[in-house]
Amino acid sequence: MESIGTPKITTLAPRELLGPLNDVERKFAPSELFAVGPMEIPLPRPRVSIIGSRNASPEGLAAAAQISSALSKKGVIIVSGLAEGIDTSAHMVAIEQGGRTIAVLGTPLNRVYPARNWQLQREIMNSHLAISQFRIGIPVQRKNFVMRNRTMALISDASIIVEAGETSGSLHQGWEALRLGRSLFIRKSIISNTPFKWPRKMMQYGALQLNDLKQVLEVLPSSKRISQITVQI
């Protein structure tokens, strides 16, 4: 695991980062969050998580790029976890399209995982925003990434699972989004072509099949109406 030095970190209570929280959000939010980057605080909206497998298929990577590109062009802030695969695709395309992105890390802000995303993390810290709930010096453990996924659900107005297996960490975020009452979308091809049980189980609890991005735009909060787009997913 690579080190990125000691960046200039802002320590925030969740309400300072996100604005007022309801009782459920306050109960399960981290006690403090650490941020690096020039994005304004409290965070602007709307914010959508694009998440999925680290070992993504070419189709999944292409879908993540398409979703990130289309939403970025509409002013949506792309949130993801800086992991390999779907996360990296979502972040990079948002940047390439001139959009904005937030990386929510499962490590302290002076660490990079995976190491190959060192340059991407630096760019996000310099021009966008990186967030962690882990103080510098906290050991990096597997459970940190589960906690990170739950925090991503809190930060995001909606989440989109692009591709994920039965043990993917993205499922933790999906369930947390549903528990918080946030919109959760699952890409149509996963539901129709996968042997996994989790998509239909999540749909029983309120997840929605994503057919085109107009569905996402319709549920997002905004100070001004976002013009609709139709992009088949």
| pLDDT tens digits, one per residue of 100-149 | 999 999 999 999 999 999 999 999 999 999 999 999 999 999 999 999 99
Task: Identify the pLDDT of residue 6.
Answer: 67
Q: Is the pLDDT of residue 229 over 60?
A: no
Q: Are 108 and 132 in contact (CB under 8 A)?
A: yes
Asked if the 2-219 domain carries CATH number 3.40.50.2300, the reply is: no
Q: Is the pLDDT of residue 228 over 80?
A: no
pLDDT-derived band of residue 232, with 50, 70 and 90 as boundaries? low
Domains of the chain by residue range: 2-219
Q: Is the pLDDT of residue 226 over 80?
A: no
Alpha-carbon Rg for the chain, nearest whole angstrom, is: 16
By the 10 Å C-beta count (0-12 exposed, 13-18 middle, 19+ buried), 20 is classed as exposed
pLDDT-derived band of residue 202, with 50, 70 and 90 as boundaries? very high
Q: Is the pLDDT of residue 195 over 70?
A: yes
| pLDDT tens digits, one per residue of 36-83 | 999 999 999 999 999 999 999 999 999 999 999 999 999 999 999 999
Task: Identify the pLDDT of residue 194.
Answer: 73
Task: Identify the pLDDT of residue 143.
Answer: 93
Question: How many Cβ atoms sit within 10 Å of the Cβ of residue 169?
Answer: 19
3-state DSSP assignment of residue 72: helix
- Nearest by Cα to 7 from 30, 31, 33, 35: 35
Instruction: Record the tokens describing residue 186, joined without a space.
Output: 């699952």
pLDDT-derived band of residue 227, with 50, 70 and 90 as boundaries? very low
Question: Apex CA 102: angle with CA 98 and CA 105, to 5°?
Answer: 145
